[in-house]
Amino acid sequence: MISLLLMIAVLFSAAITRSRVSTLKQFDRRSRLFGLVNGYYYLVQPIAHKAYRFRWGKIYLRYIRLCYEQPDHTGVLALLISQALLYATIGLAIAVLLIQKNASPLLETMSLISIFLLGSLPFVQLQRNYKEMSYQIIKALPTFVHQIAMLMRSGATVEASVYLIFDRLDQRHALYKILNKVHLARERGEHLSDAFGVMPELLENKEIHHLALLMSQVSRSGVYQFANQLIELGDLIIRDRQTVVKTISEQLSTKLLMPLMVSMMTLMAILVYPILSQF
């Protein structure tokens, strides 16, 4: 009975929310779909608007700024929180139903754990998307800075070089999305050197910070000097990546040594035991 009432409450609140969320034209289709199925939007919206005051809020808002194209980041956060609450409510309804049916203690424990697991799904997915986009950006960064340097050496300006590369990028690529943030800042009237300051706000990485620092000094550097600095930055990123790969490979060989020794000892025991058993 309790689980039935919980499900009715969720469906009722979802119906109320549908008219509100359908007016949010700034969200993409996926986010609007979240709003259609979540019944907690009104409750969590004030919390989401104050999330920037807390450390967890700042982290997830940075994730949302990079992963979503919409300007209303707190609205997207509210939809994600409401989705998490809806999933947790479904898990709670299942747990209550199992408890009422006198299910085994193992099933009851698993159902209670599922409440937290289901509630964390939207934020786990957001973190995974952020990590994938960050990896794509860092992977494409050396080629990006080298292309800017080559175009500048051919006579193009910094801004013309950036926009030429930007226009040729796949819109689904993460580098295009973060450069689009720079483009939007440029349209708001910010100087190109200041617009690149958006990148380190979205992605905590030393190479991104270095690129933003170079862009802030572009007006004080000559064309060839700035192009050489970009090439050095690209080469530095490649060397750092090679160092990381080398370190991981060395650690991997060390970690594989112990399982190899255990497997060899097991194999020796299997071969030697029949011989020893004959004596």
- Give tens-digit pLDDT for 221-259: 777 788 888 888 888 888 888 887 778 777 766 766 777
Clarify whether residues 142 and 98 are in a common domain: no
Using 50 as the pLDDT threshold, list the residues of the chain that sit under it.
15-37
Same domain, 146 and 81: no
pLDDT computed for residue 197 by the predictor: 86
Alpha helices (H) in the chain, listed in sequence order: 2-21, 29-37, 41-49, 55-67, 73-100, 105-153, 158-168, 174-187, 192-195, 198-202, 206-216, 223-277
Asked whether 199 and 208 are in contact (CB, 8 A), the reply is yes
Q: Are 93 and 144 found together in one domain?
A: no
Residues 6 or more apart from 235 whose CB is under 8 A from it?
142
Domain of residue 27 covers 2-103
d(CA 161, CA 141): 14
Residue 98 lies in a domain: yes
pTM: 0.69
CATH number, domain with residue 172? 1.20.81
How many domains does one find in the chain?
2
223 in any annotated domain? yes
Q: Sign of torsion, CA 235 237 239 242? A: negative
Task: Give residue 39's pLDDT.
Answer: 55
pLDDT at residue 243, rounded to an integer: 84
The pLDDT of residue 100 is 74
> Do residue 92 and residue 149 come from a single domain?
no
Asked if residue 229 is part of any domain, the answer here is: yes
